[in-house]
A and B are shown apart, each in its own frame.
Chain A
């Protein structure tokens, strides 16, 4: 069964460093999402992406964040200058071409630890 994959599973970085979290969505999906979950808190929407551009973004998704689909398979989240409060689990998700009302399939997550 096709699945969303994410790498790395755990990333440890120093405050102020840049990190890139990678996702490979399901191959025929066209809508991509990033979510984050701070430990002990609820999952929060960061950004959605379609047709090579951001469709929606939350207040959390400020200038330190960017997303990119550098090739036909990868979808990346870059955090430019990490802060302690960026420590969280980051989930990528994708959905089918029918869009908003399609079920979203989640990746296993990347645990980001900022020291």
Chain B
């Protein structure tokens, strides 16, 4: 059972294109993270959000809590955006003091010049 589903699994785009990566989840959550994993393996946190929309440079993340869905958008994509983008959710916690992230399988993005 996959609690976090991402689509598409793989995405190839031309430089300059507008990109959308989707994340759906089945559990109640406190927050949702978008992460970027570089080819060497390192993980960078892009956004953490629990409602609405956040923007950082060319990246925009939105979340709809009622529909259990989030999207990551990249405007004016560039080859350096090529990476794996991972959605991870922090489940609602019913008493513990800490929570663990549940990760999606990631979307591999390749932006061609």
Contact = CB atoms under 8 A, between A and B. Distances in A.
A48 interface: yes
Nearest to A106: B43
Given A43-B103, A100-B93, A55 B98 contact: yes
Interface string B40-63: 111111001010000000000000
Interface string B74-113: 0000000000001010100100111111111110000000
B41 A50 contact: no
Given A55-B96, A56-B100, A104 B41 contact: no
B100 A58 contact: yes
B33 A103 contact: yes
Contacts of A107: 42
A101 B30 contact: yes
Interface residues of B, number: 27
Interface in A81-115: 89, 91, 99-109, 111
B19 interface: no
A106 B30 contact: no
8 contacts: A31-B98, A45-B103, A55-B97, A100-B30, A101-B50, A104-B48, A106-B35, A106-B44
Given A45-B102, A100-B30, A101-B48, 15 more contacts: A33-B100, A35-B101, A43-B86, A43-B88, A48-B98, A55-B97, A58-B100, A89-B41, A99-B98, A100-B90, A101-B30, A102-B48, A103-B45, A106-B44, A108-B42
Nearest 10 pairs of A and B residues by beta carbon: A55-B98, A45-B100, A106-B43, A48-B98, A43-B103, A108-B42, A103-B48, A100-B99, A42-B105, A42-B103
